[in-house]
Amino acid sequence: MEENKQEIEVTEEISVEGNDTVKIANEAVATYAGIAVSEVSGVYGMAGGFAGITEALSGKRNLAKGIKVDVGEKDAKIDVNIIVEYGARIPEVAFEIQSRVKKSVENMTGLKVLEVNVHVQGVHAVTEKNEENEEVSEE
């Protein structure tokens, strides 16, 4: 669990009670969304951004990769860019992502999720060559 800790820049404020405020960064919301997406069957991986370079250099997995978040005062809009596994039914995968992301972000942050837009950037097709390479690398 230690490896997934990241410093987060605070970008938005949410009023809780009276004069007290809680500040939630877009990156924090994106991380919650990323965790929810990673639990959905049929998702091969996330797509987009320079997170791959950052991951390679730091050795850490960026859970917010491929996720764009727009946090307002009390609500959020989330865009998720994914690569699906070959054979997965895209509408079912997209619906499951929308459902899990909305539930996770609302429960963890208290924000109202207005939109979860799923953008399928590609399909990961398993070929015989890929299967052979995966078997060799697992040994």
* pLDDT computed for residue 51 by the predictor: 47
Cβ count within 10 A of residue 120: 16
Where do the domains of the chain lie, and which CATH numbers do they carry? 2-138 (3.30.70.1350)
pLDDT in tens, 72-86: 889 999 999 999 999
* pLDDT computed for residue 130 by the predictor: 55
Beta-sheet strands, E only, within 6-111: 12-15, 21-24, 43-46, 67-71, 75-85
Closest by CA position to 98, among listed 27, 61, 50, 43: 43
Tell me the C-alpha distance between 17 and 88, whole Å. 45
* pLDDT computed for residue 80 by the predictor: 96
Quick one: pLDDT band at residue 4, thresholds 50, 70, 90? very low
> What distances in angstroms separate CA 3 from CA 60, 115, 133, one per listed residue?
6, 30, 27
Query: What are the structure tokens assigned to 109, written together?
Result: 């942050």
pLDDT in tens, 83-134: 999 999 999 999 999 999 999 999 999 999 999 999 999 999 987 665 555 5
pLDDT in tens, 12-63: 555 555 667 777 899 999 999 999 999 999 999 998 754 444 454 555 568 8
Closest by CA position to 89, among listed 139, 123, 112: 123
